[in-house]
Amino acid sequence: MKGFTGKRVGTSFPITDEECKQIHEAAVRVLEKGGMRCDDPRASKLFEKVGCKLENDGKLVKIPENVIQAAFKTCPSQFTIYGRSPKNDYDVVIGNGEIHFASVTGRYLRDIRTGERRKATRKDAIDGARMADALENVHGLYKAVMWLYDEPPIINSQILVGEMMKNSEKGMTWVYNTGAEHEVSDLIRLWEIAAGGKEALKKKPHVLGHVIINPPRVVDVHYTDWMIGFIDAGIPITVYSATIAGATGPATLAGMMVQVIAETLALVVLAQAYKPGHPLCYCSFNTSMDMRTGLWSFGNPEYATIGAGIAKMAGYHGVPCVAFGICDSCDTDQQTAYEKAFTLMNYALAGISLTWTLGGTAGFNFVTWDQMVLDNEVATYLGHYLKGIRVDAERLSEDVIMKVGPLPGSYMREAHTRKWYREEFLIPELSNRDFFETWERSHKELQEKAREKALKILDTYESKVPQEAQKEIDDYLDVVRKRGDVK
Amino acid sequence: MKMAQIDKDYFDKLAQTIVDCDKEACVRLVKEGLDKGTDPLEMISQGLGKGIKKVGDDFGTGACFLPELIGAADAMKEGVAILDENIKAQGKTRKSLGRIVIGTVKGDIHDIGKSVVAAVLQANGYDVVDLGIDVPEETFIKAVNEYQADCVAMSSLLTLTIQAMGTVIQKLKDAGVRNKVKVIVGGAPVTQEFADEIGADAYGHDAADAVHKMAILLGRK
């Protein structure tokens, strides 16, 4: 899917080129002198193979600068997450200068029909996937819901991914979920089935896989499993840290940049050691701790600022960057609106390629389909801001200015107006622009309009995934369900 | 008589070391007090205890935040450890609201929530033994016996690892100590339902709730 672009994408950063250099150099010193704890012998061996120094029985890896530079030589600067629609109109290019928006998730949701807040179920995963498939500014999917409380924990990921593959043709992303024994192999099998086979998935991967550091400075066994799984399947990855300033990272933003970039560089080295040339990108998921509760906070300015900084460092290293655009507010309210708007604007101006944001509130805790509709509208606004003021001979409009003015002329009846307004103005679908008196007499609240739109989608939208493809997925889910370990 | 040997503002100074999160000053003043023959029980009640209460109150009103609360609890712990030895040597016992062993269960390395709960409990007058993260089931059982704990507190952030909480409870039963300790559980995927299912005595949805439930569990409210 074509993302949003324009002259303002990638124009604003919280750090300069010189500061990028300082952060890079400090991060390299951390890796050279302090190193990374490595809990997985497979990873240690890979690090050693490309010239890193192992200490403490292979459990501490020290990474020299030349190894990092060599790893970047094989990283591509862009790659594609393919959609599965026959028209190929859902493909998303990561790193081509466009901003893409994707859905995000929650453990709880507000039932759109009853208004009740409750735990998510399999049916909600189906609804979430269809909502994301239907909305024009959802360019990709995160987990449709975080957890299926009506399915066994051990096969939760499999059922969730199965339903997503059955109900949306848009590309998706995956972060390690249960750690269950067959999670990696089952999900890869499901993605292969959805793609039309092993080779088809390699040729047109429709998933972006997440490989994450346990901060501070630990290469984790589970994520090494996932890294190997993703790379073997031909799935591009995003490598990053999930650091919380003041808890698992330092309390200065510059310090956060150093630690997070050091950790990210370690994963770049690891991934390129496993398969040189495998496509990867950075990701922003590094925020501050709320000092009242100890919770990670995502609606704060420092989160978006660090994210923009990571995007700048990604550019400095020649790889793309994606980000989580989630918020703190627990409901669909004013706080949600300003948190998301500020964060997303920051991301867009920093040139982040894709951000998971639509539908979710309260971190990863809450999701509502009316919020997804509202975020879809916010994305339209953002897309418009990003265009900036396009200046060219025709848009300078000298002829029509000379023709119409001075008063009593009017631009209302000019062909020039009819030609340009749709491209230059934003005409929103849901946002209110009524006369105050009209609005005062009677109006529908924005949330109600969003709810009605969401309900219409849920009532009428059918999955475009062919029946036989859906059946193949169901057949595999049957195999998974019948396996001995499902209680 | 002994009191005459210490400064009249000694206890205030001792309390202030906790407010300042100043571990070194706390230890130094505690040693100084002991050298001058000050009653260790009084040093806790009039000094360290008052300091941690001030920090707890400030945290409640938003005058300070978690870094101060945790720093104060750490300083308090150092001071109390020295005083406890002395109290024991004198054959006395110290009254505490209760002793809690706390940890993040096996398979889970998430530290923050557990550490926040530990600090808040400490600030509210409980003795807390923090077993850390990825704590094997047996370690909880051993700690209950070793520290004569009144309560076991378990945390987890992962949906699959919370199952380990049930195993710990079973092992407490097997070891014949389940009736001697209360069990409280918490963490994002934990619910009251789950707590009931595994036979925990309480579920705390956040640190303040944990303090509230602890008071009920240990019969202080």
Nearest CA to CA, how far is B201 from chain A (Å)? 23
Q: Of B115, B159, B207, which has the smallest distance from its Cβ to A153's Cβ?
A: B159
What pLDDT is attached to residue B123? 87
Query: Which domain, by its residues, includes B47?
Result: 8-89
Tell me the C-alpha distance between A24 and A42, whole Å. 27
Q: Is residue B94 part of a domain?
A: no
Q: Is residue B1 part of a domain?
A: no
Closest CA to B102 of B126, B132, B123, B74: B132
Q: How far is CA A328 from CA A183, A383, A481, B180, in A?
A: 29, 23, 36, 40
Say how many domains are in chain B. 2
User: Where does a domain end: B30, B57, B89?
Assistant: B89
Whether residues B62 and A244 touch (CB distance < 8 A) is answered with: no
> Are the C-beta atoms of residues A430 and A450 closer than 8 Å to each other?
yes
Query: What single-letter amino acid sits at A126?
Result: I
What pLDDT is attached to residue A258? 98
- Are B120 and B165 contained in the same domain? yes
> Are the C-beta atoms of residues A194 and A165 closer than 8 Å to each other?
yes
Cβ within 8 Å of residue A281, ≥6 positions away: A79, A94, A95, A208, A236, A237, A238, A239, A314, A319, A320, A321, A322, A353
Which DSSP symbol is given to A140? B
CA dihedral sign of residues A371, A327, A191, A3 = positive
- Are B105 and B63 contained in the same domain? no
Q: Of A214, A244, A291, which has the smallest distance from its Cβ to B65's Cβ?
A: A291
> Are the C-beta atoms of residues B161 and B107 closer than 8 Å to each other?
yes
pLDDT at A311 over 90: yes
Query: What single-letter amino acid sits at B50?
Result: K
- Are B117 and B74 contained in the same domain? no
Tell me the C-alpha distance between B137 and A337, whole Å. 44
Q: Which residues of B touch A248 (CB under 8 A)?
A: 111-112
Whether residues A294 and B62 touch (CB distance < 8 A) is answered with: no
Q: Of A147, A214, A291, which has the smallest distance from its Cβ to B66's Cβ?
A: A291
Tell me the C-alpha distance between A292 and B67, whole Å. 9
A218-219/A36-38 β-pairing: parallel
Collect contacts of A56-61 with beta carbons under 8 A, ≥24 apart. A60/A35, A60/A36, A61/A35, A61/A36, A61/A37, A61/A219, A61/A266
Q: Which residues of B touch A291 (CB under 8 A)?
A: 65-67
Q: Where are the alpha helices (DSSP H) in A140-252?
A: 156-167, 183-195, 198-203, 221-233
Q: Is residue B84 part of a domain?
A: yes
Q: Which residues of A touch B73 (CB under 8 A)?
A: none
Whether residues B109 and A214 touch (CB distance < 8 A) is answered with: yes
Does A64 contact B at CB distance below 8 Å?
A: no
Q: Is residue B125 part of a domain?
A: yes
- Are B41 and B136 contained in the same domain? no
What pLDDT is attached to residue A485? 67
* Residue bearing tokens 């007058």: B125
Nearest CA to CA, how far is A117 from chain B (Å)? 15
- Are B108 and B205 contained in the same domain? yes
> Are the C-beta atoms of residues B26 and B55 closer than 8 Å to each other?
no
pLDDT at B3 over 90: no
Tell me if the pTM is above 0.90: yes
Q: Tell me how many residue pairs between chain A and chain B have CB atoms under 8 A apart.
A: 41
Place A412 in a pLDDT band, splitting at 50, 70 and 90.
very high
> Is the omega angle on the peptide bond into residue A408 within 30 degrees of 0, that is, cis?
yes
Q: Is residue B168 part of a domain?
A: yes
What pLDDT is attached to residue B2? 47
Closest CA to A415 of A433, A436, A399, A438: A399
Residue A416 sits at the vertex; the CA angle it makes with A410 and A422, to the nearest 5 degrees, is 105
Nearest CA to CA, how far is B102 from chain A (Å)? 17
Q: How far is CA A171 from CA A208, A278, B171, in A?
A: 8, 18, 46
Q: Which residues of B touch A292 (CB under 8 A)?
A: 62, 65-66
Place A4 in a pLDDT band, splitting at 50, 70 and 90.
very high
- Are B204 and B107 contained in the same domain? yes
Q: Of B112, B160, B207, which has the smallest distance from its Cβ to A247's Cβ?
A: B112
H-run or E-run covering A101 = strand A100-103
Q: Is residue B170 part of a domain?
A: yes
Does A334 contact B at CB distance below 8 Å?
A: no
Does A487 contact B at CB distance below 8 Å?
A: no
- Are B124 and B144 contained in the same domain? yes
Task: Identify the CATH number of the domain in which residue B74 sits.
Answer: 1.10.1240.10
What pLDDT is attached to residue B5? 66
Place A27 in a pLDDT band, splitting at 50, 70 and 90.
very high
Whether residues B112 and A179 touch (CB distance < 8 A) is answered with: no
Average pLDDT over residues A35-61: 97
Q: Is residue B2 part of a domain?
A: no
- Are B193 and B120 contained in the same domain? yes
CA dihedral B194, B206, B46, B181 (to 10 degrees): 10
Whether residues B159 and A147 touch (CB distance < 8 A) is answered with: yes
Whether residues B113 and A292 touch (CB distance < 8 A) is answered with: no
Q: Is B219 left (phi over 0), alpha (psi -120 to 50) or beta?
A: left
Q: Which residues of B touch A244 (CB under 8 A)?
A: 112
Residues in chain B: 221
Q: Of A180, A244, A289, which has the smallest distance from its Cβ to B160's Cβ?
A: A180
Tell me the C-alpha distance between A117 and B202, whole Å. 23
User: Where does a domain end: B35, B67, B89?
Assistant: B89
User: Where does a domain end: B58, B89, B120?
Assistant: B89
Whether residues A291 and B116 touch (CB distance < 8 A) is answered with: no
pLDDT in tens, A414-433: 999 999 999 999 999 999 99
pLDDT in tens, B163-208: 899 999 999 999 999 999 999 999 988 999 999 999 999 999 998 8
Q: How far is CA A335 from CA A70, A326, A341, A357, in A?
A: 44, 12, 10, 15
Q: How far is CA A79 from CA A186, A231, A241, A320, A460, in A?
A: 25, 14, 21, 9, 34
What pLDDT is attached to residue B1? 46
- Are B212 and B103 contained in the same domain? yes
- Are B148 and B207 contained in the same domain? yes
Q: Is residue B64 part of a domain?
A: yes
- Are B124 and B198 contained in the same domain? yes
Q: Is this prediction's ipTM beyond 0.85? A: no
Tokens of B147: 């520290």
Nearest CA to CA, how far is B65 from chain A (Å)? 5
Residue spans of beta strands (DSSP E) within B108-205: 127-130, 151-155, 182-186, 202-203
CA dihedral A244, A246, A248, A252 (to 10 degrees): 80
In this prediction, what percent of chain A has a pLDDT beyond 70?
A: 100
pLDDT in tens, B143-167: 999 999 999 999 998 888 888 999 9
Task: Identify the CATH number of the domain in which residue B142 sits.
Answer: 3.40.50.280
| Longest pairwise C-alpha distance within chain B | 60
- Are B128 and B75 contained in the same domain? no
Q: Which residues of A touch B67 (CB under 8 A)?
A: 246, 291
Chain B residues bordering chain A (beta-carbon distance below 8 Å): 62, 65-67, 107, 109, 111-113, 115-116, 158-160, 188-189, 206-207
Q: Of A178, A292, A365, which has the smallest distance from its Cβ to B65's Cβ?
A: A292
Whether residues A289 and B112 touch (CB distance < 8 A) is answered with: yes
What pLDDT is attached to residue B130? 95
Whether residues B160 and A289 touch (CB distance < 8 A) is answered with: no
Q: Which residues of A touch B189 (CB under 8 A)?
A: 107, 147
Q: Which residues of B touch A365 (CB under 8 A)?
A: 188
